[in-house]
Each structure stands twice: as C-alpha cells, then as structure tokens.
Amino acid sequence: MSGRRSHLPPWRGKWVGDGFVDLCFLTIFHKPHQKPNSVPSMEKLKSVIPETLKQKITKSATDDLHSTSSSLLHFFQTLPLFHQMVRDLTDPEIALCGKNKEAALEAKGKGNECFSKGDYSSALHFYSQALRIAPLDVEDKGKNLVAMLYLNRASSLHKLGFFLESLRDCSRALIVSPAYAKAWFWRAKANSSLGNHEDAISDLNVSLKIETSLSGKRQIESELNKLLDQSRLRSNAMEKPNNEISELAGLLFYCQRLQSWPCSSSVYERLQMDLQCVSTTTKGRGMVSSTDIPLASLIHKEDPYAAILLKHCRETHCAFCFNELPADTVPCVSCSIPVYCSLKCQVQAGGQDFPKCMHWAAVLPSDVVLAGRILVKHIEQQSSGGVDPKIHGILDLCQNYGQLSPETKLEFHVYSIILLHCLQQFYASNLPSNSAMTSEIIMLLSKIRVNSMAVVRMKYSDGKQPLDYDVTSSVEQVQVAQAVYCGGSLFNHSCLPNVHAYFLSRTLFIRATENVAAGSELELSYGPQVGEWDCSERRRFLEDRYSFICQCSGCAQLNLSDLVHTGYRCIKPNCFGVVLNSCVAKYEQEKLKHFKGPNSLQGYYGISKDDDSCEKFVHPHLIFVSCGILKEYMVSDDNIGRVARHIFEQTDYRHCFEPGCCLSCGSSCDIRASQKTIAGAEIYIQRLQDAVASGEIATNLITDALKSIDILRIVLHPFNKRIAEVEDNIAQAFCLIGELQAALDHCQASIEILETLYGENHIVIGNELIKLASIRHSMGHKSAANDTSRMVSIFSRYYGSHADIIFPHLRYLKREASSLV
Ligand SMILES: C[S@@+](CC[C@H](N)C(=O)[O-])C[C@H]1O[C@@H](n2cnc3c(N)ncnc32)[C@H](O)[C@@H]1O
C-alpha cells in the first residue's frame, strides 16, 4: 500500500508500510520506439463542462448519481471533443499499441548492426524492442520474423553469458518455427554451456537433419564432433545431470534467482485460522478471529480479483506476476505494450486481458483501467454461468463516494463515461450507455479507491543485486501494481496494526505480528503507523487519501511516540519533558476530549483489565488514559519510563497540552526561535545528504553535520524522529569513508530513538538491524551475530517462512553470523 513518501533518506531501510494506492490521473505511457501519442485532453474536456453542471457534480451524494451522470452523459453525447477523444482511444489505426512490421524490422536491423560490432547488450535491447512490436505471422527473408528475433536475441544472450535465457529463447523460436535449424544449433550451444551435453548432442542431430546448406551442415558436424569427443572423455560412470530444462524449469530457476514466488515450498504454508467478518461500531465491517492467534501465523492468503501493473513498471516488471523482468522477456501476442517474464505468464495473462489489447488501457489512469478489467471479468463470469450479465452492485465492497473531494467526484464522472464508451466496442449489449450504467461505474471507481491495494516489491536503491550485499545497501518498498483482493479488503486500518500484509508474485499474504486474542479485530496499516508520523499527519493522510477519519486505537489513545515524534526539548537543563507545537497539541488535546472511559475500549487489541482497573495495551510504548487519571504503562526506569513519568505526573491532564509549554514542568519555550535554529542546522545536514547521494564525501561536511546534530539535540526532544534521521545520514557518511566505528555509534543512536517511536519489534527496527549487523560484521565484531538473530526474529514475525524470499540479505547475514560464532 502506498503510503506517503517517507522523508527518510534513501539508504534507510525504510518502511512505507501497507497502504492503499493513490490516483494518478492523466499519466501517459509513451512507447520507447515511437513518438508519444497525443494526450487525451482530459483537462480540456473538464473545462468545457458547464459551470452549473460541474457544481451539481462536485456537490453530489450517492443518491444524486443518476441525475448527475445522466446530465453529463447527455452533455458529452453532443460534444464533438468527447467523440474525438473516444475515437482516439479506441481506433486501432490511431492507437500506438498495435504491432508494426516495419518498425520491428528497423529495430532488428539496429540489433544486427550492434551484434556485428560486438555490442551484444545493445543488440539484446534492440531485439527485445523488435520482438515487442513484431506481428506474429509475418516473414522476413523466408523465415518467421518472431522466430528469427528470438534466435537473434538468444545469440546475444549467449555471447553475454546468459545461457539459460539463451536456451529459453531458442525454445521459443522453435515453438514458432519447429524446423528452424539455426535455432536447434544455438539451443545446442546453450545446452552445452549449461553442461547438458546429451541434450546438446540431440539438438545438434536435429539441426543436422534439417539444415539444407552444405556450409551449415559442416558447421553443425564440427560442433557435434567436438561435443562427442568431450563426452567420450568424460567417464561413462558419470551421473547424468538433469537435462530437462524446460520452460517451466527455466521459470523456476529464474524465480530462485529473483528470490520470488512460486519456487519455495514454504509458500504452501497452511492457513489454519478461522476468521470471521463482523460488524464493528465505528469502521463498518471488519475481520476477527474466533480463536487465539499466535504471532507470525499466516492468517490470510488470496489471489487478486483483478490487478494491473503500474505504468512506470511496464519496462521493468512482468505484466502478470509483477516480478522483475529477466533479460529474455516475452512480449504480448496481440499488442506492443505488456511484457512477461515467461510464456507461462503470457498465457496466464491471456485469460485476464481485455478481448483485444486496447490503446485506452495503456493511457487511462490505473484505477480506471482496473475498473475496466473488473467490469469485463464480471460480464464474462456472468455470461459463462448463463446468468443475465446485468451490471448491478459489482463487488460487495464499501465505498466513500460522499466523502470524496469535489475534484475527484468530477473526475470519476468523466472517466466513467469515457470507460463506458471504450468498453462498448466489445460489450455494447451488456453496457448500455445510460445513467444507471454510468453511476454503477462511478460506484466501482469509488470502491477501487477505498479498497484497491498497492502491490509492493523490495527495491535495492543502490542498484546492487540483493546477494552483492554490503553496508550501504538500502531496502525500500516500491509499488509495482494495483489490485483488488475481495477478502483482503475486509481488513480495517489501524495505525497500530496487529497484522501485516505482503505480496509474493500476485498473491496477498496477511500474517499476525503479535499474539491476538480470540474475538479481537485484525487490522493492518493502510500506510501510516504510530512511529512513522505523528497523529495529526496520519489522520490528515487517511482523510485526504481514503476519505475516512481514523478511529483506530493509535489515534484515539495517547501514546509516547505521538508526543515526542516532532517534540521540542524543555529549556530547563535537567527536565526531560516534551514541548509540543500547536498542531500536535491540538490533536492530542482532542483525544482527551473524546475519551469516554476505559470501557469504551474493551475488546480491542487484546486489552485486559489488571488489578487496579487500568487498561493495558499490548504495545509497550503506549501510554494510556484510564479511570480519569493519566498513567503510564511503562513503569521501568529506562528512557521511555522517565519520559512518560515526566509527561504525565500532572493532575489536570485535560489542559496539559498547551503548545510551547513543557508537559512536565510547564516552562515555556520559544518554538519560533527553535525553528530558526533548526533551519540553520538543516543547511549543513542537506549538504551532507547531497554528498552521500553523489558518493563524494569531504570530511568537513561530516564535521559540519556533527555540529548541526549537536544543535538539533539542544532544541529538539531527544526522541524527536528528525534526530534519528540525521544520525542515520551521518552513519552512512562514515560508512562511505570507511570509518566504521563512528558509523556504528551513529547507527546505534538512530536505532535507539526508532525503538522508542516504533517499539523494539517493529519491522523498521528489523530493517535498521540489517545495517547495524553489516557494519559490525565488517568490523569483525562477534555481536553481529546477536543483531542478526534479533533481526531474523523480527522478520519471521512479519514474513514467517517467506522472510528469506523477500529479504535475500537475511540469508547472507545468517551465513556470515554463523561464521563469526
Ligand atoms: C478496505 S475497507 C475495510 C472494510 C470496510 N470496513 C467494510 O465495511 O467493507 C476501508 C474502509 O473501512 C473503514 N475503515 C477502515 N479502517 C478504519 C479506521 N481505522 N477508522 C475508521 N474507518 C475505517 C473506512 O470506511 C474505509 O474507507
């Protein structure tokens, strides 16, 4: 789920969390080999809608939809601009997504040129481009063009040392043209390079039989003799390797290399949870378990109802399984847009695609395309079941149309009419162009907005392969696809989630990250979490993006993290109290106003009553309000306990959140002056960040940043998140110049703050421990093994047996840790 882009620096193992996707209207896909198509002028279309109609639409509620969509439909039907736009979107002649023999031949020619110059990676690029646009049934020089392109690419791959990829491409060429002697020959070479000598010999024998030219036959014979000599030399007793490298075996090999599903048998971990969908008091439906759930249990697994790859990932990720593309991509058979990692994905995608790959599917925003896919799936399911394929109430999911922004309401109206007209080309009888159908699509778009999930992948932003791990590797979650999971949509959001969602291939997995008592609600995070942002930021984000006011426990209760996250330090030297800015103070004061007493929270999140009638949360860093007095959960004498006591040892808690006043001793602090001081310090920190990004670090930049963090420590509360971020920047800079002890100290300082903000078992801490362990390991410290075991336990909590698949670093670090012990 997308979540807002965190302000953490790129190397931080940052956690965007689970989130639902945002809308990205009007982003246009330009194909690499052709000029960008004319952009459908959505803004222009919106601008010609009469003002009164616009007003009506932007103020509409669900009940008004028939009337508003009828008026807009009527207006568009008489508007030439609208018809022109629909024509542009649907006309295969105008569209850029069609196959194109001339362009394919041109790209092939460029590939051949590069190949003959020995520039095999450019040749690979041009052949892949040509494959994408080559029509399936055309010939070039008496041979099938697609088969030729596969073969040419196979030769480039072979030259580059990608033998398995080369083998697969030869097999693909042979599927298209089985009597292609050269393809058998190159397949033999790939098999031979992979050590599959018997397969290589058998391929050469086939090639020899088919080849007609004398020179060709001679070349094959010479290769065959070489291989036969080699195999005679090998002992007869040698075990025969498994030579059956089929497309499927190739796929499995790739999955192993890419650390992706479905190669691992652990994927078949069983679901044993008995979950129920119940009605909650404040959040609509929600999921609960009828039994106690131990932490790390897999509680839900689901394939998407519909899913689409995001535009920016079209060149890098498979359009079906969403995994990273290998070098030997497989194009779509009907159009030039999607590419797949294998024939298997290509075939599977065929079942979920539109009847014909259409230009509009490449141009319209992902929400709209997803709505189109859902409509088509619905129509086809109904028709195949012999049911009248009338569209009504597609997907039993909630929607928040009434709470959408005026601009979004207008866009939903416009897009639903455009989508309807695009789909009518194929489904005119099921999709009448009327207000009922338009309202139905608006509802569908509203459901997608609230319920669709962002499918994410881990990205190593320093560009290194996961297994080439070193201390500066960074792990980041990036969104690659958007999908609707009907079951997954029933999990509500909490800023203190007790379950965690992640993806392997297209499959959604949800796992409990703590022990959850029977009957407690199971809630994941749609992005914001306690520790990541303060309460005001989280609520604003959820309201803007998903149009609901968060009613979770993290937002309803006081917690230490929210108070100190952006807090300032008290001016008294020995006071550990926190000073809040006006925005945070307002939100925290608000919580107290709405506090209805401890009983209102019964039954949530495993709260239990202890002897002196105080409510306890399972989250150790939570401070809670109970029985009319403020009391901290943490009674220990550590930092958290000290801060908590200072903050809450006051009687009149209802008025304690005065902005600019220390919550502990009441001293007033000049926040404006503090902000000015911070702005001065931030200049040097930014310079260091820029230097880190460029990889060139002068020591004076580190010295300046160290002075700046000292200044920050004077004005900001010791647990303010900004200090953790800057400590992290400095640690990275020290890493880059090889001063590992200093890097270690700053990395530890950063983690200490993050543990206070998130809790020590949070996945963010797991990500940070990757860095700590790697620094310690580079220094030969035995304690790296402790970091690793802590990290492994955190990752297991969030990913169970899938942790090693998602974080290949874990395997590396585990191996290194065992070598230290
Ligand atoms: C993906 S749906 C979750 C299932 C939904 N409750 C239902 O009845 O179908 C998201 C919607 O649930 C509600 N919701 C989820 N988490 C919430 C929270 N923490 N506070 C308030 N409403 C929430 C909001 O209406 C939100 O738009």
What are the tens digits of pLDDT across the range 617-675?
A: 333 333 433 322 233 333 444 555 555 555 555 545 555 678 898 877 788 999 999 99
pLDDT tens digits along 479-521 = 999 999 999 999 999 999 999 999 999 999 999 999 999 999 9
> Stretch 11-29: mean pLDDT, rounded?
26
Residue 301's Cα: distance from chain center in Å? 17
Task: Lowest mean pLDDT of 510-519, 611-620, 756-765, 781-790, name the range.
Answer: 611-620
Distance CA(704)–CA(702), nearest Å, equals 5
| Measured CA distances, 147 to 129, 131, 162, 170 (Å) | 14, 9, 19, 8
Return the closest-CA partner of residue 709 out of 666, 762, 660, 745: 745
Q: Please give the mean pLDDT across all residues of the chain.
A: 80
- In this predicted structure, the answer to whether residue 227 has a pLDDT above a threshold of 70 is yes
Residue 660's alpha-carbon distances to 129, 580, 656, 719, in angstroms, are 61, 6, 11, 17
Written as one string, the DSSP assignment of 465-505 is: -TTS--TT--EEEEEEEEEE-TTGGGPEE-SS-SEEEEEET
Q: What is the mean pLDDT of residues 106-123?
A: 97
Note the pLDDT of residue 664.
75
Please answer whether residues 569 and 579 qualify as being in contact, where contact means their C-beta atoms are separated by less than 8 angstroms.
Answer: yes
Give the pLDDT score at 655: 53
Cβ atoms of 545 and 400 within 8 Å: the answer is: no
Residue 467 or 673, more confident: 673
Query: Across residues 757-774, what is the average pLDDT?
Result: 90
Quick one: pLDDT at residue 636?
44
Instruction: Give the orientation angle of helix 671-694 with respect to helix 699-715, to 10 degrees.
Output: 150
Question: Which has the minimum average pLDDT: 369-383, 436-450, 510-524?
Answer: 369-383
Q: What is the pLDDT of residue 600?
A: 35
Tokens 């620096």 appear where? 9
Q: What is the mean pLDDT of residues 386-402?
A: 78
**How far apart, in whole angstroms, are the C-alpha atoms of residue 100 and residue 274?**
53
Lowest mean pLDDT among 5-14, 102-111, 520-529: 5-14
The pLDDT value given to residue 640: 52
Work out the pLDDT band at 557, boundaries 50, 70, 90.
Answer: confident
pLDDT of residue 237: 44
Query: Residue 575's pLDDT band (boundaries 50, 70, 90)?
Result: confident
State if residue 490 touches ligand 1 by the CB under 6 angstroms criterion. Answer: yes
Ligand 1 centre distance from Cα of residue 419 (Å): 27
Close Cβ partners of 38 (under 8 Å, ≥ 6 residues apart): 88
Cis peptide before 36 (omega within 30 of 0): no
Task: Verify whether ligand 1 is closer than 6 Å to residue 101 (CB atom).
Answer: no
Q: pLDDT tens digits for 35-86? A: 334 445 788 899 999 999 999 999 999 999 999 999 999 999 999 999 988 8
Where residue 259 falls (left for φ over 0; alpha for ψ -120 to 50; beta otherwise) is: left
Question: Residue type at 267?
Answer: V
Question: Which band of pLDDT confidence, cut at 50, 70 and 90, is reported for residue 5?
Answer: very low
- At residue 99, the pLDDT reads 82
pLDDT, mean of residues 366-371: 93
- pLDDT for 607 beyond 50: no
Q: How far apart are CA 351 and CA 368, in angstroms?
A: 19
C-alpha span between 149 and 170 (Å, rounded): 10
User: How would you classify the pairing of strands 615-616 and 298-302?
Assistant: unpaired
Closest residue to atom 9 of ligand 1, CA basis: 398
Q: Phi, psi (5° rounding) for residue 139?
A: -110, 155
Phi-psi label, residue 120: left if phi above 0, alpha if psi -120 to 50, beta otherwise: alpha
Pocket test residue of 18, 398, 604 for ligand 1, highest count of atoms within 8 A of CB:
398
Q: Is 753 in the pocket of ligand 1 (CB under 6 A)?
A: no
DSSP secondary structure code for residue 662 in this structure: B
How does strand 453-460 pair with strand 608-609?
Answer: unpaired
Q: According to the model, what pLDDT value does residue 819 have?
A: 74
Q: Give the C-alpha separation, 187 to 167, whole Å.
A: 5
Average pLDDT over residues 111-134: 96
Position 463 scores a pLDDT of 46
| Residue 465 pLDDT > 70 | no
Atom of ligand 1 nearest to the CA of 546: 27
Taking CA atoms, 437 is separated from 366, 389, 402, in Å, by 20, 13, 19
* 553 touches ligand 1 (CB under 6 Å): no
Residue 383 has pLDDT above 90, yes or no: no
Confidence of residue 394 (pLDDT cuts 50, 70, 90): confident
Q: Which atom of ligand 1 is nearest to the CA of 550?
A: 20
Query: How much is the pLDDT for 354?
Result: 56
Ligand 1 atom at minimum distance from 491 CA: 3
With 50 as the cut, is the pLDDT of residue 233 above it? yes
Does residue 702 surpass a pLDDT of 80? yes
| pLDDT 10s digits, 531-556 | 999 999 999 999 999 999 999 988 88
Whether residue 740 has pLDDT greater than 60? yes
Helix, strand, coil abundance in the chain, percent, nearest 5: 50, 10, 35
Q: Tens digit of pLDDT for each residue in 180-196?
A: 999 999 999 999 999 99
Q: Tell me what the mean pLDDT of segment 785-808 comes to.
A: 91
Beta carbons within 8 Å of 239's beta carbon, 6+ residues apart: none
User: Does 598 have pLDDT greater than 90?
Assistant: no
- Would you place residue 271 in the very low, low, confident or very high pLDDT band (cuts 50, 70, 90)? low
The number of the ligand 1 atom at minimal distance from the alpha carbon of 399 is 27
The residue count for the chain: 821
- ipTM computed for the complex: 1.00
Is there an atom of ligand 1 within 6 Å of 450 CB? yes
Mutate to test the pocket of ligand 1, among 492, 524, 541, 550 (most ligand atoms within 8 A of CB): 492
pLDDT computed for residue 648 by the predictor: 56
Question: Which atom of ligand 1 has the smallest separation from the CA of 398?
Answer: 9
CB 422 within 8 A of CB 89: yes
> Comparing 256-265, 319-328, 401-410, which segment has the lowest mean pLDDT?
256-265
Contact 85, 45 (CB under 8 A): yes
Q: Whole-model pTM?
A: 0.83
Amino acid in position 142: G
Q: What are residue 802's phi and psi, to 5 degrees?
A: -90, -5
pLDDT at position 678: 96
Give the distance (Å) from ligand 1 centre to CA of residue 551. 9
Lowest mean pLDDT among 211-220, 263-272, 452-461: 263-272
pLDDT of residue 592: 66
- Long-range pairs, 624-631, Cβ under 8 A, ≥24: 624/557, 624/558, 624/559, 625/557, 625/558, 625/591, 625/592, 625/595, 625/653, 626/598, 627/597, 627/598, 629/653, 630/558
Cα angle value 455/461/465 (rounded, 5°): 95
Specify whether the CB–CB gap between 291 and 273 falls below 8 A: yes
Contact 284 CB / ligand 1 (< 6 Å)? yes
Q: How far apart are CA 569 and CA 771, in angstroms?
A: 29
Query: Of 300, 229, 231, which Cα lies nearest the Cα of 270?
Result: 300
Distance from C-alpha of 401 to C-alpha of 504, rounded to nearest angstrom: 31
Which residue from 436, 269, 332, 283 is spatially nearest to 31, judged by alpha carbons? Answer: 332
Antiparallel, parallel or unpaired: β 521-524 and 492-493: parallel
The model's pLDDT over 583-594, given as tens digits with 9 standing for 90+, comes to: 998 888 777 666
10 Å Cβ neighbour count for 599? Answer: 9
Percent of the chain with pLDDT over 90: 56
Q: How far apart are CA 773 and CA 779, in angstroms?
A: 10
What is the C-alpha to C-alpha distance for residues 288 and 376, in angstroms, rounded to an integer? 32
Average pLDDT rounded to a whole number, residues 392-421 = 92
Range in 273-277, 381-385, 464-468 with the lowest mean pLDDT: 464-468
Choice from 62, 282, 302, 493 to test ligand 1 binding pocket (greatest atom count within 8 A of CB): 493
Does ligand 1 lie within 6 Å of residue 400's CB atom? Answer: yes
